[in-house]
Structure formats: C-alpha cells, structure tokens
C-alpha cells in the first residue's frame, strides 16, 4: 500500500513539473525592490523592455533591458514643463509603444488647467526624445483626478500607431464643450480636433464612456446622457468623427432608454467589421456603513454595431451562463458567479473573451459620517468565451479572495491594461500585487495571480480560503486553460517553505501576445531578505 501511495505521489509531482516546464523563464540581475508609486513594464517590438517607476516626489526613473535581459540604460527624467514634486497629484493617462518609441501620457495641473503632457522616449537608449504639452481642459474649480469630474483618456488603435486624446470635464456649463477629441497619427501629427455636440439639450448629465480609433480615418465614441441622476431618459449613444470633419455623426442605441449610470468597454472587431460595445449599467444597490458592505447590481449588454452606418446589428445580454455552469460543476453546486466584466479581448478568429472579477466594497465611517477606511474585496475570476455572433462558447472560474486598499471602480482592469494610473485614496502599496492577469497566446490561455500557498488546494471552498492581505506570504499561481482541461501550477516554482516566496507585481506587467511572452517584476523573498528581478515568461 505504501508503495502505491508513493507511486501516486510521484506521478502527481511529475505532472506538476511537466506543466511548469511548459513555460520558459528568464530573469534579470537582482535590483532593489521598487518603493511606493507607479511601476510599469512595457515590451517593445525591437526586443527591449522598459521599466518605468515614479514616486511621489522624485520624478520618473526608466531602466531599459535589452534582448539579453541586461540593463543597458538607466534614466532619471526631470522637466521644466511639469513638476516632479507633484507626482502624487499626477494622472498617468496612458503608456504605449508608438512608432518604435515608448510614449508616456500624463496629466498635471498648470495653475487650474489640467494639462496633458506627451513624453517620447527612444526605444533603444531610453533617452527623452521630446516632451510637450498637447492640450488642456478648461479651468476647473475642483482639482481632482482619478474620477469623472475632469480627466483625460488616451485610446490607441491596435492595428496602427494612431491614437486619440479625449478631454472630459463635467464641470463646464456648456454641455457642447464637455468632451473634446484630438486625433493623432503615428508621427504625432494632429489629424483632427473637435468638440462633441450633446445629443439632447435637456440632458443634465453627459459623460464619455468609451472610444475606438480606426487608424487615421476616424474615431468612434460612446457616451451616456440622462436628464437626472437616477437615469431618467438615460441613453447610450454611438458617434463617429471622420478625419477632416468638425462634427460628429451620432445615433442613440434605442434599447438603452432609462439606463442608469453606465460605463462601457469598446473594441473594433476587424474580423467581422463590427464595433463591439459592452455596457455595464447600474440597476440597484445600497450602501451600509460602520464596516458593512457597499453593494450594487449591474446589467451588462453586448451591442454589435455597423461602423459605417452606426446601426445596431444585434444585441446580446451578458448572462454568463457558461461561467455559472462551470462554477456549479467544479466549484460549488449551490453557487452562482457574481463577477463584474472588467475587460474585453477580441481574438484573431473574431471570437471574444470577457474577463470578470467578483468585487465587493467595504466602507467604514466614523460617527460624523467621515470615511475612515475603504476596502475592495477582489474575489473569483470569471472567463467567458463568446462566439463571433455573441453566443456563449465556454466559461471558467478560479477562486481567490484579496483585500485591496481603497475603492476600485468597475472596468479598472481595462484601464490598467492601457497604463492608466493615479494615486488612490486609501490605497496601499500592496495593491500592485492584487487582482489578476490574462495571457492569450497561440499555444493557450493563462490566468495569473498571487495567492497564499495555504489556498493552493482549496479550489472548491471559498469560505475556508485565507484572504490575501500580506505580500510576504504570496506566491504567483498560474492556471492553464485548454478546452475542458484546467491545469494549475506555481509560475515561479513551488515554495520550499514558509520563509520563501516568489510573487509578482500584477499591476506592472505587460504581455507580448505575438511572441507569447509575459514580463513582470518578481519579488524573491528568503526570510527577511527581499530582492526584485525583471522576469520574462514565455509560454510554449
């Protein structure tokens, strides 16, 4: 009997090693663990990898790694245009590779004018090629970033180096000046600039909720407007602005009448020449204080829109039945999945992957009603695969439970993928370790997140899981999805004991889907000693 048990154990260990060997990992030399602030990795097509870090007061530092994974350049970026000591009140609006350069977009206050700065870095040396202010919002009374009062969004075309800057200010009295769009080509020449005309003069509320750039030809915009805060006559609109035109063509999505507060994810599915708009609309909720939960319910709908006429091709409610089937069959027979959509990925074959995450906000206030603590519990991962016509193909769910500091907005994973970041009230530095990543390659699909090793064998029991609150006890987990098979392994190797761990900065990571490579900052802990390394994981 003992021989049989030992044989079974050997088989299990060998199978785990085989799964782990499906990845090839390269590591840089060790460096000091980054301090608080923003950390972001950007892989360029030339094989170089940029690592950006900025702190509250010291400006921006850039390390450039070459193809051999060695640091070839380190730069400390200061400026006469923007203030290095104002980084705490700075919004990172986006980070992209554009025309073989790393291009950083950030917003700072110039007096009371929110100003968008564009910083271009040489893709080989990391040298600052050019920095310039490219636009401002109107003067504001309230200086506040990270919400929907006054902000700037950057949207880049996936198929070209063209991009758009969308300026949104909800404080401007004239609703026809609340949204401004600037369209640029890959050489940073301005193609077009226009204000968005409010589609209804009776709207008290109007906000930008999504955009898609179609090369140098046009920009698509989605907006939400309503007469009252409760969503009276609330409607979602789809608009297009062609290069050379100064007026948007706008049409309402008729089925969206009386929608309450709405957000969206928007992508151009070029395989079937369709604009896909996934809306997330608040339906009902309540807020209980003194440590209880802030809860809300949302309705999610996928709209398929003809880019030439802006007419609806079809509308599909996002039911998530396949994810529920997976949960009930593999996790808990009595439980439904309750995650919110966070990201939409268009695949090469025209199908769509919708990434979700369960999310609960906890707010604690004092006797005077002042918020003293805010937490967001980040729960189970949901993966919903849709056919090109919007019907559900398959679904998966992976349990986790993480406690993040501050309040996370819906769709924050989509924002994170574009490099968008701002200091969040109540947030802790360990937030960069939380949530999850999705990697899609020609060889497979992978879910990556940090977890306590005590949870590794608890996939069927959410209640007994240890809530992730301590970065010193985390190891990076990877799930491999292949048809009906779901394999699980430690991405950086099994932890040998409780004094050793390997975890990564999920928030900082970047993916090169062409080469199937995932790059991130890994923290190796051995007792009290911690050191950082840049790692590149190639899924083979």
Confidence of residue 49 (pLDDT cuts 50, 70, 90): very high
Confidence of residue 363 (pLDDT cuts 50, 70, 90): confident
- Looking at the predicted structure, is the pLDDT value of residue 293 above 60? no
Confidence of residue 250 (pLDDT cuts 50, 70, 90): very high
Output the pLDDT for position 380. 94
Is 481 a member of any domain? yes
Is 521 a member of any domain? yes
> For 254-308, what is the HEC assignment?
HHHCCCCCEEEEEEEECCCCEEEEEEEEEEEEEECCCCCEEEEEEEEEEEEECCC
- Say what percent of the chain tops pLDDT 90: 58
- Looking at the predicted structure, is the pLDDT value of residue 315 above 90? yes
Is 232 a member of any domain? no
Is 132 a member of any domain? no
Output the pLDDT for position 424. 64
Mean pLDDT of 121-145: 82
- Looking at the predicted structure, is the pLDDT value of residue 344 above 70? yes
- CA 263, CA 279: separation in Å to the nearest integer? 6
The residue with greater pLDDT, 170 or 209, is 209
Output the pLDDT for position 21. 42
Is 341 a member of any domain? yes
Confidence of residue 143 (pLDDT cuts 50, 70, 90): very low
Mean pLDDT of 416-428: 75
- CA 186, CA 65: separation in Å to the nearest integer? 24
Is 480 a member of any domain? yes
Average the pLDDT over each of 37-46, 200-209, 218-227 and give the range with the smallest value.
200-209
Question: Rounded to two decimals, what is the model's pTM?
Answer: 0.90
- CA 84, CA 70: separation in Å to the nearest integer? 28
- Looking at the predicted structure, is the pLDDT value of residue 482 above 80? yes
- CA 155, CA 167: separation in Å to the nearest integer? 11
Confidence of residue 487 (pLDDT cuts 50, 70, 90): very high
Is 77 a member of any domain? no
Is 293 a member of any domain? no
Burial 66-102 (b: 16+ CB within 10 A, else e): eeebeeebebebeeeebbbeebebbbbbbbbbbeebb
CA quadruple 61, 156, 339, 537: dihedral sign: negative
- CA 69, CA 361: separation in Å to the nearest integer? 40
Collapsing DSSP to helix, strand or coil, 231 comes out as: coil
Output the pLDDT for position 10. 36
Output the pLDDT for position 425. 52
- Token pair belonging to 333: 């027979």
Q: What pLDDT digit, counting tens, does each position of 64-93 carry?
A: 999 999 999 999 988 888 888 777 788 999
Average the pLDDT over each of 4-8, 101-105, 263-267 and give the range with the smallest value.
4-8
Confidence of residue 483 (pLDDT cuts 50, 70, 90): confident
- CA 473, CA 343: separation in Å to the nearest integer? 28
Output the pLDDT for position 462. 67
Nearest to 508 by CA among 6, 107, 38, 35: 38
Output the pLDDT for position 385. 95
Count of structural domains within the chain: 1
Confidence of residue 289 (pLDDT cuts 50, 70, 90): very low
Number of Cβ within 10 Å of residue 263's Cβ equals 23
Output the pLDDT for position 140. 62
Task: Name the residue range of residue 388's domain.
Answer: 1-30+319-540
- CA 377, CA 406: separation in Å to the nearest integer? 10
Triad 481, 487, 490: Cα angle to 5°: 115
DSSP labels, 88-142:
GG-EEEEEEEETTEEEEEEEEEETTEEEEEEEEEETTT--EEEEEEEEEPPP-SS
- Looking at the predicted structure, is the pLDDT value of residue 5 above 50? no
- CA 424, CA 9: separation in Å to the nearest integer? 46
């Amino acid at each position: 009997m003992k021989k049989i048990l030992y044989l079974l154990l050997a088989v299990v260990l060998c199978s785990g090693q085989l799964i782990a060997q499906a990845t090839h990992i390269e590591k840089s030399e060790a460096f000091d663990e980054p301090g608080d602030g923003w950390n972001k990795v950007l892989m360029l097509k030339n094989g170089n990898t940029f690592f950006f870090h900025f702190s509250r007061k010291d400006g921006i530092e850039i390390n450039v790694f070459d193809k051999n994974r060695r640091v070839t350049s380190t730069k400390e970026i200061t400026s006469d245009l923007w203030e290095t000591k104002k980084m705490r009140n700075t919004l990172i609006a986006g980070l992209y590779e554009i025309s073989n350069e790393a291009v950083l977009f950030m917003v700072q206050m110039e007096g009371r004018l929110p100003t968008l700065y564009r910083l271009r870095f040489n893709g080989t040396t990391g040298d600052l090629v050019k920095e310039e202010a490219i636009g401002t919002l109107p003067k504001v009374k309230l200086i506040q970033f990270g919400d929907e009062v006054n902000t700037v969004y950057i949207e880049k075309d996936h198929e070209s180096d063209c991009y758009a800057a969308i300026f949104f200010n909800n404080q401007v009295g004239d609703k026809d000046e609340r949204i401004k769009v600037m369209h640029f080509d890959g050489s940073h020449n301005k193609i077009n600039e226009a204000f968005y005309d409010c589609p209804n003069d009776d709207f008290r509320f109007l906000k930008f909720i999504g955009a898609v750039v179609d090369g140098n030809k046009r920009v698509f915009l989605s907006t939400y407007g309503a007469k009252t805060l409760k969503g009276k006559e609330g409607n979602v609109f789809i608009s297009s602005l062609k290069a050379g035109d100064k007026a948007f063509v706008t049409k309402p999505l008729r089925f969206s009448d009386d929608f309450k507060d709405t957000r969206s994810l928007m992508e151009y599915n070029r395989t079937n020449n369709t604009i896909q708009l996934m809306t997330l609309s608040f339906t009902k909720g309540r807020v209980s204080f003194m440590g209880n939960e802030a809860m809300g319910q949302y309705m999610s709908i996928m709209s398929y829109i003809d880019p030439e006429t802006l007419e609806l091709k079809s509308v599909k409610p996002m039911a998530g039945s396949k994810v529920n089937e997976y949960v009930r069959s593999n996790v808990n027979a009595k439980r439904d999945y309750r995650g919110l959509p966070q990201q939409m990925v268009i695949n090469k074959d025209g199908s769509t992957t919708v990434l979700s995450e369960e999310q609960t906000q906890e707010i604690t206030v004092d006797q005077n009603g002042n918020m003293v603590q805010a937490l967001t519990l980040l729960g189970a991962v949901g993966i919903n695969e849709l056919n090109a016509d919007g019907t559900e193909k398959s679904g998966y769910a992976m349990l986790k439970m993480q406690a993040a500091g501050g309040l996370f907005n819906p769709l924050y994973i989509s924002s994170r993928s574009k490099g968008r970041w701002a200091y969040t009230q109540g947030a802790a530095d360990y937030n960069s370790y939380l949530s999850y990543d999705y990697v899609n390659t020609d060889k497979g699909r992978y879910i990556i997140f940090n977890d306590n090793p005590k949870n590794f064998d608890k996939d069927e029991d959410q209640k007994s899981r240890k809530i992730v609150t301590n970065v010193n006890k985390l190891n990076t987990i990877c799930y491999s999805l292949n048809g009906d098979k779901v394999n699980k392994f430690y991405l950086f190797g099994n932890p040998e004991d409780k004094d050793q761990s390997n975890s990564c900065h999920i928030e900082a990571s970047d993916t090169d889907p062409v080469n199937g490579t995932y790059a991130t900052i890994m923290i190796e802990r051995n007792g009290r000693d911690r050191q950082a390394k840049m790692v590149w994981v190639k899924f083979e």
